[in-house]
Amino acid sequence: MNGRMFYPAIFQPEEEGGFSIYFPDVDGCITQGDNMNESYEMAFDALGNMLSYLEESGKEIPIPSEPQTIQLVKDQFLVVIEFNMLEYKKKNDSRAVKKTLTIPSWLNELAIRQNINFSQVLQEALMSRLKQ
């Protein structure tokens, strides 16, 4: 799942204020918020959490519906949530992953003498190569 996707979210105003939110295309993806700004942020986070879980579990990522095909009931309204998995992971998944690699011994010794941080150099090189 790469690139931007646009998931329709149904916002239901609540009597006590705020909104309940669910995604018709993503089973179990439900949240709420006290106002419109908080509700949008909560919807984005809920969607990110659920899609990340599905991806990590090897489950199929649902295809978003076209907004015009969503049926609403009284007082509900549709908000389209823009989502990009790579951008979401950059902001929310900073876990370190151990990698084993091989370099020539002379290069290793030279780098150690110059106090080179191998992890930092590798990250910078990968980000440069991937144009991130």
- The domain that holds 54 is classified in CATH as 3.30.160.250
Domain match, 82 and 125 both: no
Q: Is the pTM of this model over 0.75?
A: no
Domain match, 20 and 40 both: yes
Number of domains the chain contains: 2
How would DSSP label each residue in 32-90? EESSHHHHHHHHHHHHHHHHHHHHHTTPPPPPPPPGGG----TT-EEEEEEEEHHHHHH
Report d(CA 82, CA 44) in Å as an integer.
8
Domain match, 38 and 102 both: no
- Digit-coded pLDDT (tens) for 88-111: 888 877 677 788 889 999 999 999
Domain match, 88 and 25 both: yes
**Residue 1 confidence (pLDDT) above 60:** no
User: Hey, which residues does 78 pair with through a beta bridge?
Assistant: 10
How would DSSP label each residue in 7-24? EEEEEEE-TTSSEEEE-T
- Digit-coded pLDDT (tens) for 8-42: 999 999 999 999 999 999 999 999 999 999 999 99
**Residue 130 confidence (pLDDT) above 90:** no
Domain match, 88 and 112 both: no
Compute the average pLDDT of residues 45-63.
Answer: 93
What domain range is 50 assigned to? 4-92
**Where residue 7 falls among pLDDT bands split at 50, 70, 90?**
very high
What is the average pLDDT value for the chain, to the nearest integer? Answer: 91
Residue 132's pLDDT is 66
